[in-house]
Amino acid sequence: MHIVIIGNGIAGITAARHIRKLSDHKITVISGETDHFFSRTALMYIYMGHMRFEDTKPYEDWFWEKNRIELVRGFVEKVEPQSKLLHFEDGKTLAFDRLLIATGSKSNKFGWPGQDLEGVQGLYSYQDLEGMERYSPGLKRAVIVGGGLIGIEMAEMFHSRHIPVTFLVREKSFWDLVLPLEESQMINRHILENGIDLRLETELKEILPDANGKARAVVTNKGETIECGFVGLTAGVSPNVDFLKDSGIEMGRGVLVNDFLETNIPGVFAAGDCVQLQNPKHGRRPIEAVWYTGRMMGETAAHNIVRGGQSLIPYDPGTWFNSAKFFDIEYQVYGTVLANPPENHAVLYWEHSDGRRSIRLVYDRHTGGILGLNLMGVRYRQEVCVKWLESGTPIEEVLQNLGMANFDPEFYKEYENDVVALYNRQSGRNLTLKKRRGLAGALDFLRA
């Protein structure tokens, strides 16, 4: 059987690796972007000079041949699921028995005037990185449009090369659709402290060209014109599925799949950013463009592709978690932490006096069960948090054992006592912290 995978990102590659573990089928992985799998999440570090492109490849180049995973470089233009045939941009074709679509995302563009000028781009692909490299020499200012995770990475990238950045953010405060107000403001402060020209509640109206058709300036909705040689469009991403339009594969915003990551067409599966789940699990969204879901989907899809019709495995990403880094502030979240919590979400929020660290615990006001943890500048142990979350552990029990979740390096100050003290102050209770940081305690808990 010939299994073809479109996309050599984390979803496609994880699938290929697991298919190889599970079977001896012929595997072909197609990508139009790069010859080998690399870590998209590390694009910024290449630009910043922390790593070379080579260093972002999780597997050495000989890995693929050794594991009999064939790599094809090229863009698929059209899929014919009925005749089981792929058409490439250059006219070539490829037949498959089973197909995995793992084509990832593309940067959003909202029809801004001038969005296709020279020097205007998003940051998603390796080619985008090359674009940034090309425009950087002599660049006087970059304007970045869209205050999300990729926007702030782009700001950090230019900042690392001492290129002034103006950062246009539509919202009242950075990423406040996701981050609660205090954390969001912490990041505002941190962006400013890094010397970025942060403009909140400011939108892009149009991009002005120079005589050569290159971006020269942007005009904001406040009527201001900002001179710049580069405009970064980072207002989110959406599934990269346009080439599937007339294929007969059912689509929403992404490729629609059932619990087993099957599309409407037997033998055609999808995984990763390009997927839209028909029935997302509780607390999860239908499209989740994050690294680990791509990995999990890839693994699940591999099992189901190999199994064909029988005893398929449902995709279950478990409890929501995520992480990011905003300049120097690390961020981790476990469970449900909402920017605008409903009435039944009670919150305990502790912030360090240096304004760069915080711990937020969200719990059910009525039952007391823990719902979510949000960390800034502090690391927590995923498995401990998830176990608490999945068993709805009462907040007071969580608090007394909170140290167990701490994952900061040795000798780092532990703040859990302060969190408990804060809770005691606010609730009039008199809890004490029973568990401190350490693997032994965490393991006892996890294995109990």
Partner 1 sequence: MNILQKIGLALFTIALLIFLLANGLDSYRLSPENLSVKNEFHKKEILGAAQQLGMMEKTYGSSFAFNGDLKKAMHTAQQVLDEKAKQGLPEGVSEWDYRLGDWAMKDYALQTTKLSATGPVADNPLLFLLLTFGLGILGGLLYIVPKFGELPGIKNNGIYHNPMTRGLKVGLRGAFLGATILGVLVFGMFYLGGGWLWSLLTVIVGSFIAWRVLIKEKSKEEKPARSASPGITGWLGVLTGVLLIGFYVALYWAPQHITAWMHIVDPVSKMLSGNEASQWFLYGLLYTIVVMVMGIRMIAKYRHNKYQIIRTFSVMFFQTAIAFLLPEILVRLNQPYYDFKNIWPLNYSFFFDYNLDNLINSGGLGIFMLVWGIVLIVIGVPVITYFFGKRWYCSWVCGCGGLAETLGDPYRQLSDKSLRAWQYERWIIHAVLAFAVVMTLMVLYTYFTGSHNVLFISSDTVRAWYGFLISSAFAGVVGTGFYPLMGNRVWCRFGCPLAAYLGLVQKFKSRFRITVNGGQCISCGNCSTYCEMGIDVRAYAQRGQDIVRSSCVGCGVCSAVCPRGVLRLENNASDVQERANDLRVIHVKNGELEIENS
Ligand X SMILES: Cc1cc2nc3c(=O)[nH]c(=O)nc-3n(C[C@H](O)[C@H](O)[C@H](O)COP(=O)(O)OP(=O)(O)OC[C@H]3O[C@@H](n4cnc5c(N)ncnc54)[C@H](O)[C@@H]3O)c2cc1C
Q: Which residues bind partner 1 (CB under 8 A)?
A: 10, 39, 41-42, 45, 48-52, 54-58, 60-62, 66, 160-161, 193-194, 291-292, 295-296, 299-300, 303, 307, 310-311, 313, 321, 323-325, 327-328, 330, 332, 379-383, 386, 407-413, 438-440, 443-444
Q: How far apart are CA 444 and CA 206, in angstroms?
A: 58
Shortest separation between residue 58's beta carbon and partner 1, angstroms: 5
Q: Does 9 help bind ligand X (rule: CB under 6 A)?
A: yes
142 contacts 158 by C-beta, under 8 angstroms:
yes
* Alpha carbons 157 and 147: distance in angstroms, whole number: 15
- For ligand X, the binding residue among 179, 324, 422, 442 (CB under 6 A) is 324
Distance CA 142, CA 122 (A): 12
**CA-CA distance, 251 to 263, in Å (whole number)?**
9
Pick what 75 binds: partner 1, ligand X, none; C-beta below 5 to 8 Å, kind-dependent. Answer: ligand X
Using CB under 6 A as the binding rule, whether residue 105 contacts ligand X is answered as yes
Please identify, using beta-carbon distances, which residue of 383 and 418 lies nearer to partner 1.
383
Q: For 367, phi and psi rounded to 5 degrees?
A: -90, -20
Cβ closer to ligand X: 16 or 422?
A: 16
Closer Cβ to ligand X, 198 or 287, answer by number: 287
| End-to-end Cα, the chain, rounded Å | 44
- Per the CB < 8 A criterion, the answer to whether 298 and 272 are in contact is yes
Token code pair at residue 282: 């509780």
* Residue 362 near residue 333 (C-beta atoms within 8 A): no
Which of partner 1, ligand X, none sits in contact with 50, Cβ below 5 to 8 A by type?
A: partner 1
Cβ proximity to partner 1: between 220 and 319 the closer is: 319
Choice from 202, 240, 358, 374 touching ligand X (CB under 6 A) = 240
How many DSSP H helices and E strands does the chain contain?
11, 25
Residue 290 interacting with ligand X (CB under 6 A): yes
Residue 43 binds to ligand X (criterion: CB under 6 A):
yes
Whether residue 350 contacts residue 418, with contact meaning beta carbons closer than 8 Å, is answered with yes
Q: Which does 435 bind (CB under 5 to 8 A by kind): ligand X, partner 1, none?
A: none
Residues in contact with ligand X, total (CB under 6 A)? Answer: 35
Catalogue the E-assigned strands of 126-271: 142-145, 165-168, 197-199, 204-209, 215-220, 225-227, 230-233, 237-239, 255-257, 268-270
Under rule CB under 6 A, residue 75 binds ligand X: yes
Which residues between 142 and 161 bind ligand X (CB under 6 A)? 150, 153
Interaction partner, residue 184 (partner 1, ligand X, none; CB < 5-8 Å by kind): none
Residue 349, interface with ligand X (CB under 6 A)? no
